[in-house]
C-alpha cells in the first residue's frame, strides 16, 4: 500500500519528490522517487531488487527498513542516481548462496547504513563496483565474503566509515583502470589476505584502522598513491608494501606496529621517487623501513622497538 498523509482536504504524498496524480479518490504515488522496502508488509516492496526496479529512470531512494533479508540472487544496481539506505546494523542482508550481494554498474550510486553478510564464499563479493563512477559506500558492515568490496575498472569511488572484516580474501580490492578513489575512516580487520589491495592510481587511503589481516595491511600496486594518517597493527606480512615498479607515492604520518615482516617496504629499484615521511613504526622487527627503491625520499620517521 502506498504511504500517505491526510489533511483536511484529503490525502497527499509523504514524499515531496514523488509524482502525484488525481484519481478521483484522493492522491496516490505514481512513479515515486522514494521506495520503502519492508518485510512486514508496510512498504512498497518486500525485496530490495523490487524496490530498485520500481524507481523511475531518473533514479531515487530505496529505504530498507530493519529486518534480516535473506537472498539467493544478487542485487543489481544498473540504473543511475540510486541511493540504498538502511537503518545500520538493524538492516541486514544475508546471502544464502554463492553470490555477490550487490553488483553496481550504474553511476552516482550510494549504499549506506546496511549490514552485508556473505555465505563464506571464496569467489563472491559483498559489493562489486564494476565499470562505473561516483559511487559512495558509507557506514556499512561487510563480512564473510571473498572480497568485502571489489572495485573493478571504476573511478571516483568513496568508501568511508565502514567496518570490513572476516572476509576470505582482501577487505577492499581494486583492479583494472580504477583510480581517483578515496578510502577513509574505515575499520578493516581479520581478513584472509590484505586489509587493502589497491591497484588504482591517484587514490587516497587516509585515517583507516587496519589490523590483524593475514597478509599486508596495505598492498600498493599503482602509482601516485597518498597513504596518510592510518593506524596499522599486527598484520601478517608487511604493514605498507609498495610493490615492484610502483612510483611517486606518498606514505606519511602513519603509525605502524607489530607487522610480521617490514613495517614499510619499497620492493625494488623499479620503485622511483616515492616519499616516506613522518611515520612511526615499531614492534618485534624494531620498526623497519626497508627501502630498495630509486630516489626515495625518507625522512622524519620514528623507528623503535615500542612506541
Q: Supply the pLDDT for residue 286.
A: 56
Angle at 96 between CA 186 and CA 216, to 5 degrees: 35
CA–CA distance, 161 with 144 (Å, rounded to integer):
18
Could you say which of 2.160.20.10, 1.10.10.10, 2.60.40.10, 1.10.357.10 is the CATH number of the domain covering 63-304?
A: 2.160.20.10
Q: Supply the pLDDT for residue 32.
A: 82
Q: For the chain, give the percent of residues with pLDDT over 70.
A: 88
CA–CA distance, 102 with 110 (Å, rounded to integer):
12
Q: 171-189 pLDDT, tens per residue?
A: 999 988 788 999 999 999 9
Q: 60-83 pLDDT, tens per residue?
A: 999 999 999 999 999 999 999 999
pLDDT band at 245 (very low <50, low <70, confident <90, very high): very high
pLDDT band at 9 (very low <50, low <70, confident <90, very high): very low
Q: Supply the pLDDT for residue 13.
A: 41
Angle at 141 between CA 204 and CA 42, to 5 degrees: 125
**Cell numbers that stand for 52 in this block:** 530498485
- Give the distance between the most distant pair of CA atoms in the chain: 78
Mean pLDDT across the chain, nearest whole number? 89
pLDDT band at 284 (very low <50, low <70, confident <90, very high): low
Q: Supply the pLDDT for residue 175.
A: 87
Paired residues of 22 in beta bridges: 27
Q: 188-225 pLDDT, tens per residue?
A: 999 999 999 999 889 999 999 999 999 999 999 999 99
Q: Supply the pLDDT for residue 259.
A: 93
**Cell numbers that stand for 133 in this block:** 563512477
Q: 114-160 pLDDT, tens per residue?
A: 999 999 888 899 999 999 999 999 999 999 999 999 999 999 999 99
Q: Supply the pLDDT for residue 287.
A: 64
CA–CA distance, 154 with 167 (Å, rounded to integer):
21
For residue 15, what are the CA distances in angstroms to 8, 33, 162, 261, 271? 18, 8, 28, 55, 54
Q: Is the dihedral of CA 43, 47, 48, 52 positive or negative?
A: negative
Q: Where are the domains of the chain?
A: 1-62, 63-304
Q: Supply the pLDDT for residue 305.
A: 67
Amino acid at each position: 500500500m502506498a504511504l500517505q498523509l491526510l489533511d483536511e482536504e484529503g490525502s497527499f504524498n509523504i514524499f515531496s519528490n514523488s509524482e502525484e496524480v488525481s484519481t478521483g479518490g484522493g492522491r496516490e504515488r505514481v512513479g515515486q522517487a522514494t521506495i520503502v522496502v519492508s518485510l512486514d508488509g508496510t512498504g512498497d516492496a518486500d525485496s530490495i531488487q523490487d524496490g530498485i526496479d520500481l524507481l523511475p529512470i531518473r533514479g531515487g531512494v530505496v529505504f530498507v527498513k530493519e529486518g534480516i533479508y535473506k537472498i539467493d540472487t544478487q542485487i543489481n544496481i544498473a540504473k543511475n542516481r540510486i541511493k540504498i539506505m538502511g537503518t545500520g546494523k538493524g538492516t541486514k542482508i544475508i546471502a544464502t548462496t554463492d553470490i555477490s550481494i550487490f553488483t553496481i554498474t550504474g553511476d552516482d550510486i550510494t549504499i549506506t547504513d546496511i549490514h552485508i553478510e556473505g555465505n563464506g564464499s571464496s569467489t563472491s563479493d559483498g559489493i562489486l563496483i564494476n565499470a562505473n563512477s561516483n559511487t559512495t559506500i558509507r557506514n556499512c558492515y561487510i563480512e564473510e565474503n571473498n572480497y568485502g568490496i571489489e572495485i573493478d575498472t571504476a573511478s571516483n569511488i568513496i568508501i568511508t566509515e565502514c567496518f570490513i572484516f572476516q572476509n576470505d580474501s582482501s577487505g577492499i580490492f581494486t583492479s583494472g583502470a580504477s583510480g581517483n578513489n578515496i578510502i577513509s575512516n574505515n575499520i578493516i580487520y581479520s581478513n584472509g589476505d590484505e586489509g587493502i589491495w589497491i591497484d588504482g592510481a591517484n587514490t587516497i587511503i587516509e585515517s583507516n584502522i587496519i589490523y590483524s589481516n593475514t597478509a599486508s595491511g596495505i598492498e600498493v600496486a599503482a602509482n601516485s598513491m597518498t597513504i596518510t594518517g592510518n593506524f596499522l597493527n599486527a598484520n601478517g606480512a608487511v604493514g605498507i608494501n609498495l610493490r615492484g615498479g610502483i612510483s611517486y607515492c606518498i606514505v606519511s604520518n602513519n603509525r605502524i606496529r607489530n607487522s610480521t615482516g617490514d613495517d614499510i617496504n619499497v620492493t625494488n629499484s623499479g620503485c622511483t621517487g616515492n616519499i616516506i615521511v613522518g611515520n612511526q613504526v615499531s614492534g618485534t622487527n624494531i620498526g623497519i623501513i626497508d627501502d630498495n627503491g630509486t630516489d626515495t625520499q625518507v625522512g622524519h620517521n620514528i623507528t623503535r622497538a615500542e612506541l
